Amino acid sequence: MESRPRFKIVLLAPEIPGNTGSIGRTCVALNTELLLVKPYGFEIDEKAVRRAGLDYWKHVRLREFDSWEDFLLREKPPREKLLFFENTGPRLHYDAGYSEDCYLIFGGETRGFPSRLETEYGSQFYRLPMFSDHVRSLNLSNVVTTVAFECLRHLI
């Protein structure tokens, strides 16, 4: 039953090991790759990452990149396949151009994306809806799971 959703999840400079572990677990559930772009706010072998990923972490299809430029150089993603998700994105995640072989990209928990990426790829930024002034952002692992399943819905 191992069919593969045809998209990848990219974390740019993740900061919280528990979130990365939980996201890894989602990747295993969806049989999709997890691409991590340095710098990290933790050591990848940190116990907290493994604990959040539980016994699933050993099954994560993980690739690491030294920087955003390294990611672009080695992965060679078509520009239109890059979809960025940020709590201030101009459009809702429902409207993202999900397609086979797209990259769902998420910034660090407290820093988000570098402004140069927002400038360069601004039309490819999306957000999840929030209806309360009491919440600045949602937990990264929850956002990744929500977006991944929305992408899956578009592909099946």
Split at pLDDT 50, 70, 90, the class of 48 is low
Q: Has residue 2 been placed in a domain? A: no
| pLDDT at residue 49 greater than cutoff 90 | no
Evaluate if residue 2 carries a pLDDT over 80: no
Q: Which two tokens stand for residue 106?
A: 């998420």
Look at residue 52 in the predicted model and tell me its pLDDT.
57
User: What span, in angstroms and rounded, lies between the C-alpha atoms of 4 and 152?
Assistant: 10
| Per-residue pLDDT tens digits for 131-146 | 999 988 899 999 999 9
- Arithmetic mean of pLDDT, 25-47: 88
Q: Is residue 85 part of a domain?
A: yes
Q: pLDDT tens across 66-117, in order?
A: 999 999 999 999 999 999 999 989 999 999 999 999 999 999 999 999 999 9
- Report the alpha-carbon angle 10-31-39, nearest 5: 25
Query: Which domain range does residue 61 map to?
Result: 7-155
**Residue 112 placed within a domain:** yes
What is the value of pTM for the model shown? 0.93
- Structural domain includes residue 48: yes
Domain assignment present for residue 86? The answer is yes
d(CA 148, CA 82): 14
Number of domains in the chain: 1
Asked whether residue 22 carries a pLDDT value surpassing 80, the answer given is yes
CATH number of 141's domain: 3.40.1280.10
Q: Are 27 and 60 in contact (CB under 8 A)?
A: yes
- Answer yes or no: is 126 within a domain: yes
* pLDDT value at residue 51: 64
Q: Is the pLDDT of residue 124 over 70?
A: yes
